[in-house]
Amino acid sequence: MPNAFDFSASPFDCLDESEQKIVRDSVDIAYFREGEAILEPGIEPAHLFIIIKGHVSQFDAGEAVAGYGPNDCFDGRSLMAGLATSRFVAAEEVVAYLLAKAAVNALIARNATFGALLFSDLSNKLGALAQRHEQREMHALTMSRVEEAFLRPAHVVEGAADIVTVARLMQAEHSSSVLVRDGERLGIFTNTGLQRAIVDGQPLDARPVRDLATFPLVSIAPDAPLFDALALMIRHQVHRLVVADGPRIVGLLEQLDLLSFLSNHSYLITVRIVRAQSLDDLRSEAGKITAFIALLYRGGTRIGQIGKLVQALNAKLFERTWQLIAPPELLAESCLFVMGSEGRGEQLLKTDQDNGLVLRDQTTVSDAIVESACQRFSAALRDFGYPDCPGGIMVSNPVWRRGADEFRMLVRRWLLRPDPDGLMALATFIDAHAVAGDASLLAGVRAEVDHLVAANDALLGQFARAIDLFPDAPSGWWSLLLMFGEHERQSLDLKRAGIFPIVHGVRSLALRDHVQATGTTARLDALVASGRIPLELANDLADSLHFLMGLKLKSGLAESDAGHAVSGNVRVERLSSLERDLLKDALAVVKRFKALVRHQFHLERA
C-alpha cells in the first residue's frame, strides 16, 4: 500500500525498513463523514486508526476525554483488549489509514519500543523515548553511577599521626589525600591541608594530622547517579567525595576523574563563581548557566538531573553575590534563603526572584545596613537576568526580611487567619532552602509551621484547597487538547495546568506528615516510604512533573532564542503527536491526583 505513509511520526519513527514494509503491506485508507461514529463501545476493533486528515473526538460516558489530529493514532488499547470501551467520532471529515490488527501484533512482537509508545503508560513511554534517544553518549552519562567512574583507593591514617608521616604515605601511594580517623569521626586530609601546615610554620613532625583535617566527610553511595555527585561537589565546594557503601569505604571520587567522565563545564562555572571578586564577574557566570542548561537539555539529560545542577549552581551564585554585598556582621547575623521552584530545585530557566532573609533576634546590625544590602542584592539578581517577583517575594521587600520572632509571628498569621494571599505566601515559604548565612535561623521558623499544623485538619484542609486554585474548567486548558482549528493557536499555561497541582498537592501531603525535604521528588520518596501514597502513583507524578517541566523548558529556550521573554506557556499546535499524547497522559495523572488530594483532605464536603 501507499509509500506516502508518514514514518516520521511516533510511534512509527522507531521502525526499521523491514518493519516499515509490514506497515505498507497491511494498511488501507478509509473516509469518515463529519459526525460519523468511527468506533463504538462494545465493538471488537480490527484496525489501528492513523489520521491523515481531519480530527476525531473520543467520548467516555458521553463526556469528551481526548482529541486526535493528523498523524495521531487510536485506539491501540482496545485493539489489544479485543473490545472498544470508548466512542470515537469524526469531528470533521476524516481520512485515515487502517492498519490491520495482525500487522500491529507483528510489530509489537518485533519492536518493544513500538509497543511501549503505542500502548504503555506515561512512565514506560518516557522510558522508551530515553532508550531511543539519538545522543547515546549523553544518555549513557545520565544513567551512569558513581561506581562506574574511576575511584581512587582510600588510605586511612589515625588522627594522632604527625604530618611528616602522613606526607610520606601520600607520596608513596601517589595520592593527594588520605582519610583521617579520629575516634568516632572520619575526616580527610589533602594537599591543601599540607600547604597550610607548611605555611603555619609549626614543626611538622610534632603536629597531629587531625588539626588540619576536614570533618565531617562529604560522602556518596556507589550506586548514586554521577550527576548527584557533581551536584554534591558544587554544593559543598569540594574537589573529591568519599564513596561509601554503608560503613564500608569504597574509594574516592576526584573532581578531575568526574569531569573527564562528564565532559561538561558546570564545575568550571562553580569555581569562577566562588572566586569572583566583583558583581561584574558574577554577571558573566550567570549568563553561562542558561547556556549550560540548554546544552544539557538538548543533549538528552533528564530534567530531574538538570534541576539538581541548576539549584546547586544558582545557590553558589546567590551565596557569592550576598557575600560580596553584605558586610561580615550581616552575613553572620542572618540567613538568606530561596523559595518556590528555586527552593525545590525545579526552576530551570530564570523566571523571577523568590527569596527572603531571616535576621537573628536582637541583632546589632542596623536597619539601614540591612535595607541597603537587600536592595543591592535584588538589583544584582535583576542585572544577572532574574526578573523581580511580581508578588514582591524578595529581600528588597520588608515583608520578606524580618527577625526570626517576627517571621514566626508572620507564619502563625498565615496559618491561623488564612486568606488566599497568605496561603500562597505560606506555600512559597514551605519550599524555602537556605543558601547563605546561619541556616538554623530558617530552620527555627520552619519548625513553627510544623508545630502549628500538627494534627490540625482544618489548617491542613485550608492549605490543600489551593490545589483547585486553577480549576480544570471546560473552557480552560483541558479543552485545548480536545479541540482543534482556531484553538490550536492558543497557548497552554503548563504551570497552571499541571505543574502547580502536582507540586502543591505533594507539598500539602508532605506538610501533613512533617516531611522536611523541599524537592517534589524527594517529598514523594518520603511519602512512599511512610506508606502514605503508592509507589506507582509517586512514579506517575514524578514522570508527569518532569515531562511538563521539560515542555516548559523547551518552549522557554525557543522563546529565549527568538529574543522573547520566557512565558512558561506552550503553543499546542507546535507539539508533536507524541508530545500531545504524553501531555494527555500527564494531565490525566494530574486530574487523578487532584481527586486523591481532595479526598484525603475532605475538600469535597466544603
Q: In whole angstroms, give the CA distance from residue 548 to residue 555.
A: 11
Domain final residue pick, 420, 453, 486: 453
* 131: amino acid identity, one letter: Q
The pLDDT of residue 130 is above 90 = no
Strands (E), 224-304: 240-245, 248-254
Is 350 among the domain residues? yes
Is 54 among the domain residues? yes
Q: Are residues 366 and 302 in the same domain?
A: yes
Q: Are residues 338 and 290 in the same domain?
A: yes
pLDDT tens digits along 30-65: 999 999 999 999 999 999 999 999 999 888 888 777
The pLDDT of residue 89 is above 90 = yes
Q: Are residues 399 and 495 in the same domain?
A: no
Q: Which residues pair with 67 in a beta bridge?
A: 57
Q: Are residues 409 and 493 in the same domain?
A: no
Q: For strands 334-338 and 355-359, give the pairing.
A: antiparallel
Q: What is the CATH number of the domain that holds 322?
A: 3.30.460.10
Secondary structure element (H or E) that encloses residue 338, with its range: strand 334-338
DSSP conformational letter for 602: T
Angle formed by the axes of helices 112-119 and 122-131, nearest 10°: 150
Q: What is the CATH number of the domain that holds 72?
A: 2.60.120.10
Is 294 among the domain residues? yes
Q: Are residues 449 and 573 in the same domain?
A: no
pLDDT tens digits along 476-532: 344 455 444 444 456 788 888 899 999 999 999 999 998 989 999 999 999 999 998
Q: In whole angstroms, give the CA distance from residue 546 to residue 519.
A: 12
| pLDDT band of 140, cuts 50, 70, 90 | very low
Q: Are residues 107 and 28 in the same domain?
A: yes
The pLDDT of residue 475 is above 50 = no
Domain final residue pick, 63, 92, 119: 119
Residues 6+ apart with CB under 8 A from 36: 89, 90, 94
Using alpha carbons only, give the angle 297, 341, 396 rounded to the nearest 5 degrees: 125
pLDDT tens digits along 215-252: 989 999 999 988 788 888 888 888 899 999 988 999 99
| pLDDT band of 121, cuts 50, 70, 90 | low
The pLDDT of residue 606 is above 90 = no
- Per-position DSSP letters for 466-498, written without gaps between them: GGGSS---TTSHHHHTT--GGGGGSEEEHIIII
Is 519 among the domain residues? yes
Q: Which residue has the cell 538538548?
A: 298
The pTM is what? 0.70
Is 198 among the domain residues? no
Domain final residue pick, 453, 482, 507: 453
| pLDDT band of 134, cuts 50, 70, 90 | very low
For the chain, the distance separating the N- and C-terminal CA atoms, rounded to the nearest angstrom, is 59
The sign one gets for the Cα dihedral 307, 308, 309, 310 is positive
Is 226 among the domain residues? no
Is 113 among the domain residues? yes
Domain count, the chain: 3
Q: What integer pLDDT is reported at residue 160 of this predicted model?
A: 94
Q: Are residues 562 and 487 in the same domain?
A: yes
% of residues, the chain, pLDDT over 70: 89
Q: Are residues 430 and 504 in the same domain?
A: no
Q: What integer pLDDT is reported at residue 162 of this predicted model?
A: 94
pLDDT tens digits along 246-292: 889 999 998 877 876 665 556 667 777 888 889 998 998 888 888 88
Phi-psi region of 485 (alpha: psi -120 to 50; beta: other; left: phi over 0): left
Mean pLDDT throughout 74-85?
A: 85
Q: Are residues 481 and 435 in the same domain?
A: no
Q: What integer pLDDT is reported at residue 131 of this predicted model?
A: 52
Mean pLDDT throughout 159-171?
A: 93
Is 188 among the domain residues? no
Q: What integer pLDDT is reported at residue 478 of this predicted model?
A: 43
Q: Are residues 420 and 510 in the same domain?
A: no
DSSP conformational letter for 394: S
Q: Is 454 exposed, middle or buried (0-12, 13-18, 19+ CB in 10 A)?
A: exposed
* 563: amino acid identity, one letter: G
Question: Do the beta carbons of residue 283 and residue 273 sit within 8 Å?
Answer: no
Domain that holds residue 487: 465-605
Q: Are residues 334 and 398 in the same domain?
A: yes
424 vs 472 pLDDT, higher one: 424
Q: What integer pLDDT is reported at residue 126 of this predicted model?
A: 64
Q: Are residues 301 and 449 in the same domain?
A: yes
Average pLDDT taken over every residue of the chain:
85
Q: What is the CATH number of the domain that holds 478?
A: 1.20.120
pLDDT tens digits along 294-321: 877 876 778 888 888 888 889 999 999 9
Q: What integer pLDDT is reported at residue 143 of this predicted model?
A: 59
pLDDT tens digits along 382-418: 999 999 998 899 999 999 999 999 999 998 888 877 7
